[in-house]
Each structure stands twice: as C-alpha cells, then as structure tokens.
Amino acid sequence: MPAPNVTAIRKPADLPGGSENPRITLSTVTTPVRHELVAVERAIQAQLKSDVALISQMGAYLVAAGGKRLRPITVLLAAHSIGYQGKDHIALAAVVELIHTATLLHDDVVDESTLRRGRETANAVWGNAASVLVGDFIYSRSFEMMVATNRMR
C-alpha cells in the first residue's frame, strides 16, 4: 500500500495564532478535502431529487437549511488519513450525511419539534406523515448508494 498522502499535523506553534492561542477553524480543517466536499454536496442533492414533487421540495428545503457537514468531512479526512485512492469515499460521505438527515426528519416528528437551526422543521411545514415517508425515502436512497459501492465487507 502506498504511503498515505496526509498533511502533517502541526504543532501549536505552527498554527495560526501561535503557541499561546492556536485557532483551528473548520475552514482550516476542511482545506485538504474542500473540492471533495463539493462533490459530496452534489451527490446529496442528486439523491434528494425525485419525480415525486414533495420529495424534491423537501429535499431542496433540507439542503438549503445547510449545516457544517461534519459527518462527511470526517469520512473524507479519514479516507485521506489512510491514503485511500478510490472514489467511493465521496459516495460514502454522502451516505453518512443522508442517514443523518433521515434520522433528523424522524427525530423531529418523535420530539414534535417545530424549529431546527432557526427554521421550521419539515414536519412543521409538510406534516408528520410526509416527514416520516421522506425520511424513509432518504434512508432507502442512502442504502442504494452503499450497495452501489460494491464494498459490503
């Protein structure tokens, strides 16, 4: 296996802010995977499109809500840390975020939440039944993506 292509972890003195007050931002952490994160976002958006208008509407609403995408960032950084050279990490990073999104849809129904990140929840906009069904749809799409990688070991 080739040596991992990893950016060296720097000592606090090498970080912005010096050794007394190192500031590591999300932007700094995501620099090595920024272009791949764009591909992950495209994959997520593609999976949230459907001929069923409600699914596409809710998918667009969920993507517009944003978020830091910490889960896919973690998958991408982990792939880099072991020197992974393939492309499946993009799909798998999207899978992790899609599963998280589906879980949030279901969680908001169970908790009877009406707000998330200062926006109305999907169940507040479209109702509980639609939220659960679209959550199930997203789970199904994420499982399809996993199987498509053909890495079920």
Confidence check: pLDDT of 82 > 60: yes
As a whole number of angstroms, the distance between CA 30 and CA 48 comes to 24
- Give pLDDT tens digits for 36-73: 999 999 999 999 999 999 999 999 999 999 888 999 99
Could you give all domains of the chain from N- to C-terminal order, each with its CATH number?
Answer: 33-148 (1.10.600.10)
Whole-model pTM: value is 0.82
Confidence check: pLDDT of 1 > 50: no
Q: Could you tell me which of 134, 133, 137, 145 has the C-alpha nearest to residue 75?
A: 145
Give the number of residues written for the chain: 153
